[in-house]
Chain A
Amino acid sequence: MGSDPAGTAVVSTLFRAIAVLRVVVLVNTVVLYAYRYDRYPHAATGAWALAGLTVWTLVALWAYDDARRRRWPLLVTDLAVAVGAILLSPYVKGDGLNATLPGFWVMGVVLAWAAAWRLTGGLVSAVLISAADLSVRDEITLSRWPNIFLLVLGGVVVGFLSDLLQRTAAERDRAERAAAAAAERQRLGRVVHDGVLQVLALVQKRGSELGGEAAELGRLAGEQEVALRAYVQRETSTPAEGTPYDLGGALAALGTSTVTVALPATPVRVDPVAGVEIAAVVAECLSNVRHHVGRDAPAWVLLEDLGGELVVSVRDQGPGIPEGRLAEAAAQGRLGVASSIRGRIEDLGGTATLETGSFGTEWEFRVPVR
């Protein structure tokens, strides 16, 4: 029997389906018996036996409905009733027995065993009932074989299915519990992170106001704050579905106390190859800003998802790239940073636009997606 709640629930459903079947086969048996009532030597005894079978069926329907009652006494009694009814058949119906007294009714017992005790239950009950069936025959002929074969096969198949259903239900239940636990951990993580973020932000703010050594501490706290915030953003926007690479998260991770990253609230998921390349190009632009403008020069990154197209902008407020330098680099046969950046974006099927002047330098990458 399913020891876990999910497995038990599945078995209960199975038993409810079997209950319907048991009523159908009972009616079938009773009607067939009534139709041929006149032919039997001890018809009255048989009628009483069928009345008993009907009462037992109702009791069994009630008993099987509760997992706590689905134990060996019930199942063994059920089987005993079936075997008893079969053994009574020769007396009621006389010689030349065609069908046993319970007839197809025994199917319900085999399926109950299969549902409760899986493959073994189905097999054992089917074999025992078949043995009882054969024992009451005058002669054992091959004509009995199809019924026996079907009964054993049915018991085994339903037993196997019951086993499979219980396992699947248990697994699904475990997976759901794991997902709930992960969500709770994530929620707790967010609370903890928020507290840390608060303190880091406070240290940064107060530190820079106090100046001196405190300002240095403040600056360090500020760097950690940005790093942690990027981490939290990535953590909370990573449901395991859709295209795998979260470009928003990757760009957020490039944020520092001087690099501001602006993103949409919904995750931007792209093909991993394009995503990694775009993030790498942005990182290269930012590294250029550090080299040519200054270590603490501010820079801004903006990611927009236009549906069919991604737009990534990287801007700084440096002196701009001096006029003629790009052309000069090209003339000397050097690729230069700018054309390398342009080439990498064009390899992705996108376009790269560079605007530079006294206002600073601004890259805009447009890359088609999907």
Chain B
Amino acid sequence: MNQAADRTGIRVMVVDDHPMWRDGVARDLTEAGFSIVATAGTGTEALTRFPATQPDVVVLDLQIPEPNGVEVTAELIRQNAAVKVLVLSASGEQNDVLEAVKAGAIGYLVKSASRPELIAAVDRVAAGETVFTPGLAGLVLGEYRRLVDAPAEDSTAPRLTERETEVLRLVAKGLSYKDVADRLVISHRTVQNHVQNTLRKLQLHNRVQLVRYAIEQGLDETEE
């Protein structure tokens, strides 16, 4: 995956309000052979440029001028469920990262990640794979635990299977997918599937919650 030629078909949009970062990330990705089809400095710009440029991958900073990264993620996914959002965040706001993932982002990387890590992450996200840091795995584990502890009013809350818990815990303890596969004597692909399922269940639950909330608030009724 190291040749530049492999990636020209991957259309990427970079969203970051910090020009130095935006240009740096765009340059790194261009040099690696990706097609940067758009850059944006605010949530509004991102939402305006998205329909016109139809990127496959959006590399998104969460701390951007309104609407914020979480809202942008939700809206992009609503417009095109196939778009892959990779969150690139310097922020200490763990809740924002979790919210973005629940809204549909499939990857998370801290900004201090090296250039090869960034390029590998965009490659994997473009291929539909999830990109987890140990930190994100810890957040997702915590979220499932929270859902279990939440008042029993919600029987639709997703649960992790034992295997999924096992895999996520190993990822949270810093093992690469390959190490996890070796440790559990399963294939790399299976690890990937387990991780992906944990996200998909959370995202689905999140969407159901939003619809339920909308109905409760009467937002589904058209205004007369």
Contacts and interface: CB of A to CB of B under 8 A. Distances in A.
A346 interface: no
Contact of A194 (B91, B114, B137): B91
A209 B145 CA distance: 39
Nearest to A233: B92
Contacts of B139: 262-265
Interface in B134-181: 134-135, 137-139, 141-143, 145-146, 148-149, 169, 172-174, 179
Contacts of A261: 135
Contacts of A236: 92-93
B110 interface: yes
Contact of A225 (B95, B112, B173, B179): B112
Interface in A216-261: 222, 225, 228-233, 236, 257, 260-261
B144 to A, nearest CB: 10
Interface string B17-52: 010110010000000000000000000000000000
Given A225-B112, A236-B93, A300 B174 contact: yes
Contacts, number: 116
A334 to B, nearest CB: 29
A233 B94 CA distance: 8
A200 B112 CA distance: 8
Contacts of B21: 198, 202
Interface in B172-201: 172-174, 179, 183
Contact of A264 (B20, B93, B138): B138
B90 interface: yes
B63 interface: yes
A93 interface: no
Contacts of A195: 18
A206 to B, nearest CB: 7
Chain B at the A interface: mostly helix, strand, loop or mixed? helix
A2 B24 CA distance: 59
Nearest to B90: A197
B111 A263 contact: no
Contacts of A193: 92
Contacts of B183: 359
A264 B174 contact: no
A317 to B, nearest CB: 8
B4 to A, nearest CB: 18
Contacts of B92: 193, 197, 228-233, 236
Counting chain A CB atoms within 10 Å of each CB, which of B114, B139, B142, B148 scores highest? B142
Nearest to B18: A198
A101 B213 CA distance: 63
Contacts of A197: 90-92, 111
Contact of A263 (B24, B138, B148, B149): B138
A313 B175 CA distance: 13
13 contacts: A198-B111, A200-B112, A201-B111, A202-B20, A205-B24, A206-B24, A229-B91, A231-B92, A232-B92, A260-B135, A262-B139, A313-B173, A359-B183
Interface of A: 190, 193-195, 197-198, 200-202, 204-206, 208-209, 222, 225, 228-233, 236, 257, 260-266, 298-300, 302-307, 313, 315, 359, 362
Nearest 10 A/B pairs, CB to CB: A264-B142, A262-B138, A300-B174, A232-B92, A201-B111, A197-B90, A201-B112, A229-B92, A262-B172, A233-B92
Given A229-B92, A264-B143, A265-B94, 9 more contacts: A202-B21, A202-B111, A260-B134, A261-B135, A264-B142, A300-B134, A302-B173, A304-B145, A307-B149
